[in-house]
Structure 1
């Protein structure tokens, strides 16, 4: 009995040592595994394990709250996998995982965070253009292009926050919130002044506003009535001059072309000037 018990202890000890050896031979796992979404795409990203060699590859999987895990990318050497083309739903709740592979060895799977696509995706910045119409500016807003569907297909409520200011006076910026139209006229502006505009998008489901647009600047012009007034004044002056010429034409012509001979001393001077 003692011999049998001793043999069992030796066997258990060897098994424990073997398990420890097997565990230590597992590849190190990828780190900083995160599932991200920008403009409704779905991308799993990770950092390679410490001491990674060029031969290491990765396999990824993803699943929704309604499905089991499915293969995303197999045996790739990059540190991200795009799941967007794999028939994802704009309203789905997803998670992913990644495993490192080197020859016959593999690491444990590393799980990512969960993402609900329509509420967690980062909405990109809109495109803004400005056109001047006298002392007003028309703001035209174009929604960012999404990886699946359009912004208004995904969200029922889309509004715009518009911030504008005189160039160089950011601290005096004014805002228009919750505009539903993508064309807005700013009419409380001064003439012949440069203004800058920036826009962000809000939606009914996404918890965060979009990334802000680039700052776009444009100058206003004079009011149309100013140009009309200037044209009227020029026309009035031209008509007045024409009337004066017609009324006093006889006097003007006599002054320019006198019939009387010049005095003798004027003629002498003119001859001397001509001779010179």
Structure 2
């Protein structure tokens, strides 16, 4: 449906309701499913168009606030946009505090009401990525160095900050013997340097890792397999 036909269809359905007065908000224009998606504390607000139509002429406006604040704040970079998402990472950087976001839309001079998220607390709700791995062969063994994901923020010295600063992280390391097509967990713990010994020469092995968060009883997705052949 073209933007012109979309607007005419909306106007026709609006007139059929018998509402004579002009109101600033129309339910059929209100954005739907407004929610945060968070990964490694990259906190992105997402939404879907209202039920009237998904028109390319629809313009969206985003506000946010911390729980307990009375005044909403405009997100300047997301004020009058056509995308269905808005990056609120910097605006929600106090990761233990709860926040709200909300979105409204404008179409052909008509304004919807605001649609608000549920309460969002980054520390509780962010999903973390699997660890990255560096693998080195040493005398028939594999030395695996694990790295936790980084936050999008930096400390007072300008250095990147690890997830280990904010969570208890348990690393799980698995090895797959490609000849036997058999997987085995070879390590679970907090150490980030792990040596895998007693490997059969001239065999190919793949290593995969994940992170477990005991306090939240949550685990990351698994990393991509890293495969090596023992000489």
Asked if Structure 1 and Structure 2 have the same fold, meaning a TM-score greater than 0.5 normalized by the shorter chain, the answer is yes
Paired residue secondary structure (1:200): strand
Higher fraction of strand = 2
Offset from partner CA, 1:16-41 (integer Å, 9 cap, x none): 8425x748966511122221101111
Is the aligned partner of 1:218 residue 2:228? yes
* Aligned alpha-carbon RMSD (Å): 2.4
Paired residue secondary structure (1:152): helix
Task: Tell whether the 8 Å contact from 2:134 to 2:145 is kept in structure 1 after alignment.
Answer: yes
Q: Which has the larger radius of gyration?
A: 1
Structure 1's unaligned 5+ residue stretches are 1-15, 222-276
Separation in structure 1 between the aligned mates of residue 46 and residue 64 of structure 2, nearest angstrom = 12
Offset from partner CA, 1:151-191 (integer Å, 9 cap, x none): 12222x22201111201544x31114532111100113212
Higher relative contact order (CA 8 A, sep 6+): 2
Higher fraction of helix = 1
TM-score scaled by structure 1?
Answer: 0.66
Paired residue secondary structure (1:174): strand
Aligned length: 203
Structure 2's unaligned 5+ residue stretches are 1-17, 154-160
> Cα 1:63–1:202, aligned 2, differ >3 Å: closer, same or farther?
same
Task: Tell whether the 8 Å contact from 2:26 to 2:113 is kept in structure 1 after alignment.
Answer: no
Is the aligned partner of 1:125 residue 2:130? yes
Task: Tell whether the 8 Å contact from 2:92 to 2:122 is kept in structure 1 after alignment.
Answer: no
> Cα 1:40–1:87, aligned 2, differ >3 Å: closer, same or farther?
closer
1:12-23 paired onto structure 2 within 5 Å = 17-19=19-21, 22=23
Offset at 1:44?
0.6
2:56 matched residue in structure 1: 54
1:95-244 paired onto structure 2 within 5 Å = 95-148=100-153, 149-155=161-167, 157-170=168-181, 172-221=182-231
